[in-house]
Amino acid sequence: MSLSTEQLLAIARTYWRADKSYELRQEKSPEAARLEVRWNQALARVDRWQAFLRELKQELPDFTIGDGTATPDACFRCVVYPVKGRPLPPFDWIVVGCVSILAPIYIVYGVEYGRVGNRKRLNPRLRFEPFPSGMRHPADVIARKIEESFGVSKLPRERAETPVPLFVQWVEPPETTLFHALFTNEPHNVP
């Protein structure tokens, strides 16, 4: 059963505040405490996510698969790099799949980076569907594998970009969207 945008907004408000009143206080906000509980519950079943990553590796043998899961976010993240090696050779784009820990939804996005000499990951540019040709194949595979493994629904870009008047880590209104609150607040920042 897919959730309405209003229901997703209500979920977002459960875990992020509409003000910064707790930022300078010693104690954590009720919203932050609830998010911690959700992360603890999600990480207790991290083996499911790890199994998914192993399967994704088999499906995309020409790519490097990374685990971009970070608890400042609200989702498990898989990162597909279009290069292989250790350390990774320079790359200009990535594709990321996010499975929310707050709602039965997922999203796939891409990031294009600039590069000048040794300086990399400059000027990140976020991409959503429809993806450029290079991103399309890994994005399709990620989406299919997430649906098979977790039974969650893709949140369309238009709904993900719904503004929410919430403070999500460093992202503040009017910039904040459902995407930041239910998935990641630093989409360009991956390992």
Partner 1 sequence: MSHRLLHPSASGKRWQWQSRVGALALAVHPHKQRGLGLTRRCLVLRQLVRILALVLLLPMFSGCVRPVSRTRTIVTGRLEPRHFHFVTVVEKTEEGPGGWRAACVHVRILRSNTGESFDCRLGIEVPIENDDGPVSVQLAQRIAAERTNETSRVVFESATPITPLGLLCEKFKNTLRPLIEASIGGARLMTRCHEKAIPVQLGEIVP
Chain residues that interact with partner 1, rule: CB under 8 A: 23-24, 26, 28, 32, 36, 43, 46, 50, 53-54, 57, 64-72, 79, 81, 86-88, 91, 121, 169-170, 186, 189-191
Nearer to partner 1, 57 or 157 (CB): 57
**Helix, strand or coil, per DSSP, at residue 13:** helix
* Owner of token pair 């040794």: 118
Give the shortest CB-5-to-partner 1 separation in angstroms. 26
Please say which residue, 69 or 177, places its beta carbon nearer to partner 1: 69
C-alpha 13 chain-centroid distance: 18
CB 45, min distance to partner 1, A = 13
Q: What is the 3-state secondary structure (H, E, C) of 45-78?
A: CHHHHHHHHHHHHHHCCCCEEEECCCCCCCEEEE
CB of 152 to partner 1, least distance (A): 20
84 backbone dihedrals φ, ψ, rounded to 5°: -130, 155
